[in-house]
Structure 1
Amino acid sequence: MPRSHIDHLAVTCPTLEIGASYLLESLGVNPQVGGEHEKMGTHNLLLRLGSSTYLEVIAKNPNAPPPNPARWFSPDRLNKDAVPFLATWVVRTDDIQLSTESCSETLGSVEPMSRGDLDWLITVPNDGELIMGGVVPALIQWQSTVHPAERMENHGLSLLELKLHHPDPNRVSAMLESIGFEGPVSVVDSTGQPYLQAVIETPSGVETLGANQ
């Protein structure tokens, strides 16, 4: 049975400038510059949430050509004035092939990716859409021994809990069990569209990112 843990959260936004303002208002800190994902036509900002956990603000890179067939994390669905949102999450595993095969949901193909001097394998849906509204994570396997969060600025933030809201909680729970997930995640039975909420400890108190915050 594979084991897996929270790696990072993905906030999708129209531009990185809008995403940075969103995090400053929501958490009281500015994210640091990340880099470009040439294969996906996106770029990002980063915010450390622990020694092996972080938050990623991701947007279309206006200077990069669009990928074929689609960008990950659905930034193309946002208009230029859209509000950033907690789109999905990414789960770390030591055996991405086994975890992908074991998962009760279809995650897409395992793709090699890079940003700067970082290399990793990650599952990417062929259509770029969020799986089950984002409550089903992508799987990632880093190709280095040092986690990227260890190199990020420490603003004293930590992820306390991730809440997965979905009208079919049993299906979500079965997915988590199928990948041997361990971590501070709760599944919430809710009506309407699925959404995520991240409860984050900040120097000024506990804040929540996500719908209905």
Structure 2
Amino acid sequence: MELDHLAVAGESLEAAVAHVEDALGVPMQPGGRHEMFGTHNFLLGVSDGLYLEAIAADPTARPHRSPRWFDLDRFQGGPRLCNWICRCTDLAAVVAGMSVDAGQPLSLARGDLRWQMAVPDTGVLPFDNTFPALIEWHSPHPAPLLTQQGCHLRHLVVAHPQAADLDAALGLRDPRVVIEVGPAGFEATFDTADGRRVLR
């Protein structure tokens, strides 16, 4: 598995986008709609082939599948960094070999993009949504298509009271990702053209 991208959720897409832009000081660009889950997003290119998405339920859309992914049906409060996504080359095999229920692979599309993502039936990922969503791309990765705004991920802190169990279930070895004990949540530190910025 490799780190693929980060997701910031909001009660509205406008709120999620504003949260990212205020935290990092750079503009995001329009993404699109995900018909299966009735969501829409904006995107930000990040160095090293990563990207960041702001995502929310689309009030004009009716989801084809419920609950929505990323636990968006239960999302409340201010916008925040809510999920991280890791890619792999054989999603079905990776999911089958997991010691936790990471979900079942679903085939998804947005425009020319094609991918599979493991989504639990409940929409809730293990360890209070701090376990990553798992993705396998079946089209060119979107990151090279995004405008770069000079953002570089220094590290992502993933906190959970059962950090050791989360780390063991994950088995990811990425020096940018730190699993630590604490209330469930995320904190990402970026280098930007205007200095170091933190996104929560």
Check whether TM > 0.5. Answer: yes
Q: Report what 1:96 is aligned to.
A: 91
Please, what TM-score do these two structures have when normalized by structure 1? 0.89
Q: Distance in 2 between the 1:152 and 1:103 partners?
A: 32
Output the amino acid matched with 1:147: H
How many corresponding residue pairs? 200
1:202 aligns with 2:197: no
Identify unmatched segments of 5+ residues in structure 1.
Answer: none
What is aligned with 2:13? 16
1:89–1:134 contact (8 Å) kept in structure 2: no
| Alpha-carbon distance in 2 for matches of 1:141, 1:183 | 22
1:120 aligns to 2:112 (yes or no): no
1:129-208 equivalent positions in 2, closer than 5 A: 129-144=124-139, 146-177=140-171, 180-190=172-182, 193-208=183-198
Q: Cα gap change, 1:183/1:121 in structure 2, threshold over 3 Å: closer, same or farther?
A: farther
Equivalent position amino acid for 1:17 in 2: E
Question: Structure 2: which 5+ runs fail to align?
Answer: none
Letter in 2 for 1:169: A
Give me the CA root mean square deviation: 1.4
Contact 1:36 1:115 (C-alpha < 8 Å) held by counterparts: yes
* C-alpha distance in 1 between matches for 2:50 and 2:11: 23
CA distance, structure 1, for counterparts of residue 112 and residue 131 of structure 2:
28
User: TM-score, normalised to structure 2's length?
Assistant: 0.94
Whether 2:47 is the aligned partner of 1:55: answer no
Aligned residue identity for 1:104:
S
Query: Post-superposition shift, 1:189?
Result: 1.4
Select 2:78's aligned residue among 57, 80, 83.
Answer: 83
Alignment-derived partner of residue 3 in structure 2: 6
Distance 1:135 1:45 in 2: 22
Q: Say whether residues 1:32 and 2:25 are aligned partners.
A: no
Paired with 2:21 and 2:102, the residues of 1 have a C-alpha distance of: 32
Q: Say whether 1:70 aligns with 2:60.
A: no
Q: Structure 1 stretches (4+) deviating beyond 6 angstroms? A: none
- Residue by residue over 1:40-92, the C-alpha shift from the partner in whole angstroms, topping out at 9 and shown as x without a partner, is 1000000111242111110111121134321111222235xx31011111101
Question: Which deviates the most, 18-27 or 110-119?
Answer: 18-27
| Per-residue deviation, 1:37 | 0.3
Per-residue CA shift, 1:117-172, capped at 9, x if unaligned? Answer: 0000110011112431222001101002x320100010000111111111112101
The residue type paired with residue 157 of structure 2 is K
